[in-house]
Amino acid sequence: MPDSLSAQSPPLKSPRVALFVTCLVDLHRPSVGFAALRLLEAAGCRVEVPRAQTCCGQPAYNSGDRATARDLARRILDALAGYDYVVAPSGSCAGMLRHHLPHLFDDDPNTRAKADAFAARVHELVSFLVDVRGVTHVEARYEGNVTYHDSCSGLREMGVKAQARTLLASVDGLTLKEMNEPETCCGFGGTFSVKYPEISVRMASDKTRDAASSGADTLLAGDLGCLLNIAGRAAREGRDIRVRHVAEVLAGMTEELPPIGAPTRVAKPGEGRK
């Protein structure tokens, strides 16, 4: 569902944007958060990072723990109140805040109204840049053949599809190679990945196979969960494919930062990864 709301209202000159970092980016790959900052600022936003944020609550929500999800949701509503937009470098966290969070308050009309107003301001990073800020190209360079995996929530809940490709097409040196079934789930699914590891790994293997046979040397996506899964599987299979968050490439950050799961220093002789 692409965002009709934002398309209708005239773009603000320099909106106040809260960056919702997401717990995975905070913990695992902070550079994605900095890439988001860079991109948002380049798009004319005044970006702040509210300190009281932690996690969007999906681990609880998707485990059936509605009470905890609700409790976290209330805190999010407080922590991220008063901004023109809330932007997350993750389709799944943005989807949680946009589409699921309000329903946690179906039985509480006051909070529900507040949550609806909040949800309408939540965006996924890439689609925000293109659909709301009208960005059509970025200043970045990346030498490589890139394939883009459409992460499920980004695609089906936030309508991210063409926007990522539009911006990637503007990156110098980059060639886009579509893989077979780019819209098929990579098998991450949050706790699914450890509750049903064999199924999850099978799905990840299908994804790395499709990525490899596209002729790409790099796989990008907009959700760190998927990327950890795909990179982890590719590493185990010994596949020669670099895995990165799409924001790293769009922000021109790839020189500063090795791909996900890649060594950060040169191995000493005889100290192979395996």
Partner 1 sequence: MNVDSPDFKRRAKRALDNASLQTALTATRGAFAARRAAAVAALPEFEALRDAAKAIKDHTLAHLDFYLETYAANVERAGGHVHWCSTADEAREAVLAICRGVDARTVTKGKSMISEEIALNDYLEANGVQPVETDLGEYILQLRHEAPSHIIAPAIHLNRDDWETAFRKAHTDRPADRRFAERRDIMVEAREELREKFLAADVGITGANFLIAETGSSVIVTNEGNGDLTQTLPKVHIVLASIEKVVPTLEDTTSLLRVLARSATGQDFSVYTTFSTGPRQEGDLDGPIDYHVILLDNGRSAMVGSEFQDMLRCIRCSACMNHCPVFFAVGGHSYGWVYPGPMGSVLTPALVGIERAGNLPNASTFCGKCESVCPVKIPLPNLMRHWREREFERHLAPPVVRANLALWAWFARHPAAYRLATRAASRAMALAARGRGAFRRLPFAGGWTGGRDFPAPEGETFFARYAREQRRKR
69-75's contacts with Cβ under 8 Å and 24+ in sequence apart are: 69/104, 70/104, 70/105, 73/101, 73/104, 73/105, 73/115, 74/111
What span, in angstroms and rounded, lies between the C-alpha atoms of 199 and 202?
Answer: 5
Instruction: Identify the helix (H) or strand (E) that includes residue 79.
Output: helix 66-79
Cα torsion angle, 191, 192, 193, 196, sign = positive
Contact call for residue 217 and partner 1 (CB under 8 A): no
Q: Report how many residues bind partner 1 under the rule CB under 8 A.
A: 75
The residue within the footprint of partner 1, chosen from 4, 255, 264, 269 (CB under 8 A), is 264
Shortest distance (Å) from residue 149 CB to partner 1: 12
Cα-to-chain-centroid distance, residue 262: 19
Contact call for residue 185 and partner 1 (CB under 8 A): yes
The residue within the footprint of partner 1, chosen from 134, 199, 213, 215 (CB under 8 A), is 199
Instruction: Return the DSSP state at 249.
Output: H
**Would you say 185 and 92 are in contact if contact means Cβ atoms under 8 Å apart?**
no
Residue closer to partner 1 (CB basis): 12 or 65 = 65
Residue closer to partner 1 (CB basis): 108 or 183 = 183
Residue closer to partner 1 (CB basis): 225 or 252 = 225
Residue closer to partner 1 (CB basis): 172 or 183 = 183
Shortest distance (Å) from residue 49 CB to partner 1: 6
Pinpoint the alpha helices (H) of 96-245: 109-119, 125-127, 152-156, 162-169, 192-195, 197-213, 224-237
Residues numbered 46 to 75 that lie near partner 1 (CB under 8 A) are 49, 51-55, 57, 59-66, 68, 71-72, 75
Residues numbered 17 to 46 that lie near partner 1 (CB under 8 A) are 21, 23, 25-31, 33-34
The residue within the footprint of partner 1, chosen from 80, 129, 174, 203 (CB under 8 A), is 203
Residues numbered 132 to 171 that lie near partner 1 (CB under 8 A) are 152-153, 156-157
Residues numbered 223 to 252 that lie near partner 1 (CB under 8 A) are 228-229, 231-233, 235-236
What span, in angstroms and rounded, lies between the C-alpha atoms of 175 and 194?
Answer: 34
End-to-end CA distance of the chain: 43
